[in-house]
Structure 1
């Protein structure tokens, strides 16, 4: 790389491409699919991400509940792109897009582009409830999952110390908000933890002390799946003794008491929020291109409307049409298909060939509640139980990046299948919600970021 004229205080050093440069912001499912589609073609792909790894988000809940270690579901970009001669990765967080000059500004410098692809995904949406945002935990990234794990284990340990029965109940109670797949899977995993791990690890108090609540604002679970899937899921959760609250929504949380709009109060030191997401992207896009959910409105070819060389794919994109009045569902399979489509489309455009509009092919939906408990909607087929759980396991295992990671996850699952053991119950660091400061040394323990589609 020739860096003779490179001022690193102003720009990010990149090889001179001698070919069109496609800058991709975000290395999630959509960004990865696009990069793979353009592998070693005569374009320069520059991937910018604030992390140096891709995380397999569908299994975050297993990291949160000590079933998997974080390095089992993350994979470094630089290793991911071994053999990609036309791809450059830079660790940087983009703060602004400057469309008039075809430039993106990052915390490490600026990058120019011929084509820009926004694949920035979503963040947790607390719907303006500041007290909930301050005191609860989302589950959108690997750090969120580890925060949940550490807080859960800290609170379980403190519950063994305190002599205050009400405080013990609050420390061991869990409230999960949102009855979609993420909430359902988290509730099921916690219920199995309570049934099989808690009696062995914490004989100081009965496992019945730990209550799990799943709060859903509508009158059904897994609202985007079939009625059969919803009914089966509810039956599985009740079998696992999860308290499912329908037609309830959280209105506040102070770190100890969850308040609902109907006036119900639940004492709990653990609140996990899976009830909504909103798009996240750098400033620089005109406000009239942003639609509900903070998503970017695109045309059928995935251009951000009004911008000839800026595209949006994945969860951030809202392709609104007759069949998709709210845009496509924000799930991995849509992101992957859009990434592949845009890769082919850009290559065709560069060669002066016409492109077809994006068309999503729904391959089905899966969700799991626990071992041998899952539901599947595959075309006309609706089924649950062991076959659905086995299919869910195979699909997710094969979708993880890296052979080593598949082996690690597979071995963990095999051990858990026969023993229910979760061997990663380590408190590596103390954690408390940001506004509460470090954990206080007290007898009462004041401790205190999808429907998965078949790929």
Structure 2
């Protein structure tokens, strides 16, 4: 049977969404091949570009390799190349290094900054629409501040310390928020007063953050003003020079740094594709995301112009990108399978903007207004949900590390309290002691040392009634026992109190199912003894320390519910939790074993990430 070829151009939010949907729904159709073409070998998490530009995270934190996203999708072919043209008559996509025929084409090449023809922006301004933009801006800021710190001329120094952001949309406000966070770090590093850095937002409109409800936008403006950010409204920029920015009012702002975030237009490469364009070069599509006057061609993401209401096209935001990508994919599948097409139906859950790492505002589901900690927490939750939606547990974990555990300078909502750049050397004595304790307890049970009962004999040591009643042939002897007293450490002369004096009924039911007879109980006892010794040896050696520590917590829970654990030993749990923080990496086998496993397992599961996919 003839192969059906689906080609997606652009591995942004929209392109990845479409490709994921196609790969999932067509995985059993061996007659369909899916090709995803992008000039990069990775997805750039565009909404976090400001974090790279503002020195909060490293560039790799927002690069998600396509191989890791699609390694388990055997019907997806990845191509790293630059698309130069589309021949609609021959149904061929032309690239710098090849050509790809298609039966169905999905265009998701995104947008790019729109300078509206303002003189000097291209030559002297900085944009924030790609990873390259973010890295370039970051290096410029660091170099400019370093030079300003040793500049003697007061006017030159002030101009170098003045950072102007053009545009008060989400990108501009999030960028100035990162600079607000970063300025204290830069001041400390280059030894000057942080108050010397001046941050200015210039907006042509009379209000800022116009996609948010006014009460949220006003709250954000109040916060920025309080923090010393200057906001200039009704102030269009008419030209940008190497040393200053000129406003329509005639005012000139001396600066070495103008960040232009004032507008977005369609990717200009698509101008040569022979397709009808609308405002800002966006390509016109219908409610099925089909390109106007073209068969089997779909447009998605920031590139598409489809009016949900008269005069209101789909917004250029992540939610719209994903939803248009999903719609196009569903309709390609419908065309292949001869089913009914589906109209685009938007479902925007809200909008949010961060102003630095600790403060933000959000409006969710048309009714919830959030600010501060809870708005930022919701932003992180939304980002984590994205990784869940694209089924990438790897990048979900990486996001947590980049945003919470490997963050520097207290730049997150928890003020750096979760940061894990500490030395784990000091946990080695605890690890060795804790492991020795478990090992000794296991050996004691195995050989019945120090007057204890051996778990390898013929007597059942487990306290469950159905085992004790069956195995005891003699009448019970009741001994007078001191009243147990609660305490978290042993006190001489006191009888320690158990957490549970007897197992709860529900736990009894589980254990009676697992250990129904004395014969099974004797086998279980021997097994548990070996487990304790194995855990102890693993902890001493620093091997699989996280798993071994987690296992000790599970054992403690089991012993507790069995009515075999005292309050004075509850420190077992907290010691285990402390050892989960990579304690096996210092003078332990985890230093060698874990990286090796990560390498081997990663290659097996994901394949080998590359800079070029062919």
Q: TM-score range by the shorter chain?
A: 0.7 to 0.9
In the alignment, does 2:240 pair up with 1:253?
yes
1:411 to 405, 411, 423: 405
List per-residue Cα deviations over 1:121-148 (Å, max 9, x = no partner).
0011111124111111100011100001
List per-residue Cα deviations over 1:6-63 (Å, max 9, x = no partner).
xxxxxxxxxxx94311111000000000111011512211111111110101111010
Distance in 1, matches of 2:314 and 2:406, equals 34
In the alignment, does 2:231 pair up with 1:237?
no
Conserved in 2, the CA contact under 8 Å of 1:139 and 1:145? yes
State the Cα distance separating 1:199 from its structure 2 match.
Answer: 3.5
Partner of 2:185: 197
In the alignment, does 2:315 pair up with 1:320?
no
Q: Where does 1:98-117 land on structure 2 (aligned, <5 Å)?
A: 98-117=87-106
Partner of 2:160: 171
Distance in 2, matches of 1:411 and 1:373, equals 19
TM-score, normalization: structure 2? 0.63
Distance in 2, matches of 1:326 and 1:419, equals 40
Bigger shift: residues 402-411 or 92-101: 402-411
Aligned pair count reads 404
The structure-2 alpha-carbon separation of the partners of 1:90 and 1:310, relative to structure 1 and needing over 3 Å to count, comes to same
State the Cα distance separating 1:161 from its structure 2 match.
Answer: 2.3
Partner of 2:136: 147
Partner of 1:127: 116
Distance in 1, matches of 2:396 and 2:343, equals 34
Q: Secondary structure at the match of 2:49?
A: helix
Conserved in 2, the CA contact under 8 Å of 1:73 and 1:405? no
Conserved in 1, the CA contact under 8 Å of 2:106 and 2:328? no
Partner of 2:264: 277
Conserved in 1, the CA contact under 8 Å of 2:206 and 2:234? yes
Partner of 2:77: 88
TM-score, normalization: structure 1? 0.85
1:61 to 50, 60, 65: 50
Conserved in 2, the CA contact under 8 Å of 1:94 and 1:282? no
Distance in 2, matches of 1:206 and 1:357, equals 57
Distance in 1, matches of 2:272 and 2:173, equals 37
Q: Where does 1:204-353 land on structure 2 (aligned, <5 Å)?
A: 205-280=192-267, 281-286=269-274, 289-321=276-308, 323-353=309-339
State the Cα distance separating 1:167 from its structure 2 match.
Answer: 1.0
Distance in 1, matches of 2:64 and 2:79, equals 15
Conserved in 1, the CA contact under 8 Å of 2:327 and 2:342? no
State the Cα distance separating 1:399 from its structure 2 match.
Answer: 2.8
The structure-2 alpha-carbon separation of the partners of 1:202 and 1:420, relative to structure 1 and needing over 3 Å to count, comes to farther
Conserved in 2, the CA contact under 8 Å of 1:217 and 1:247? yes
Partner of 1:5: none
Partner of 2:343: 357
Please tell me the root mean square deviation across aligned C-alpha atoms, in Å: 2.1
Give structure 1 regions of 4+ aligned residues with deviation exceeding 6 angstroms: 420-423
Q: Where does 1:9-20 land on structure 2 (aligned, <5 Å)?
A: 18-20=2-4
List per-residue Cα deviations over 1:396-419 (Å, max 9, x = no partner).
244356134213323245853455
State the Cα distance separating 1:389 from its structure 2 match.
Answer: 1.8
Q: Between Structure 1 and Structure 2, whose CA radius of gyration is higher?
A: 2
**Higher helix share goes to which structure?**
2
Conserved in 2, the CA contact under 8 Å of 1:49 and 1:92? yes
State the Cα distance separating 1:349 from its structure 2 match.
Answer: 1.7
Gaps of 5+ in 1: 1-16, 424-455
